[in-house]
Amino acid sequence: MAQEIERKFLVVGAGWKGAWPVTSIRQGYLSTDPDRAVRVRVAGEQAFVTIKGPPSAGALARPEFEYPIPRADAEWLLDHLCLQPLIEKSRHRVTFHGATWEVDEFAGENAGLVMAEIELERADQKVELPSWVGSEVSADPRYTNANLARHPFSAWGRPGAGAAR
């Protein structure tokens, strides 16, 4: 079974910025159910549909199945079937001590949010944290992209906003 194991952190400061590869990402959700999220993503010139199951092992691991689809199909799904607003972000691939971190700078309804994630081989794998990594939010459901699609970061200042439902 395919599995994703990752840790997520808020980013502090600009120490991560540099001449790293950047990919523009536009993604939306056909389902945001925590037990079976279905995502459509356009990343650069590529497009994918991804199915994620419920988290386990302290919310770090979850089943994940990702398949390439034609970009035109993905664009249509994003524009016509996916929940709105879409997630828009720039993904920077930052190397730190031999590990690749993905730093996402969110735009649109989630502008102002910057998160870093690192994919692991094992849930108990030790990771050296860069100085620009702040609080860990791996187990906080507010920071899943599926929740950000339903409860955008820009609305969190309003009472009742931002909570995972």
Instruction: Please write the tens of the pLDDT for every residue from 131-147.
Output: 999 999 998 989 999 99
Report H helices in the chain: 71-80, 145-150
Alpha-carbon distances of 109 from 124, 129, 152, rounded to whole Å: 34, 28, 6
Count of other CB atoms within 10 angstroms of residue 155: 13
Count of other CB atoms within 10 angstroms of residue 137: 17
Mean pLDDT, range 58-79, rounded to an integer: 92
Report whether pLDDT(60) > 80: no
pLDDT, tens digit (0-9, with 9 covering 90-100), for 20-39: 999 999 999 999 998 899 99
pLDDT, tens digit (0-9, with 9 covering 90-100), for 91-118: 999 999 999 999 999 999 999 999 999 9
Mean pLDDT of the chain, nearest integer: 91
Alpha-carbon distances of 99 from 57, 129, 135, rounded to whole Å: 22, 10, 19
Catalytic residue ranges: 29
Do residues 7 and 118 touch, judged by C-beta distance below 8 A? yes
High-pLDDT (> 70) share of the chain, %: 93
Q: What is the pLDDT of residue 162?
A: 53
DSSP reduced 3-state for 40: strand
Burial 19-52 (b: 16+ CB within 10 A, else e): eeeebebbbbbeebebeebbbbbbbeeebbbbbb
Do residues 118 and 101 touch, judged by C-beta distance below 8 A? yes
* Domains and their CATH numbers in the chain: 3-155 (2.40.320.10)
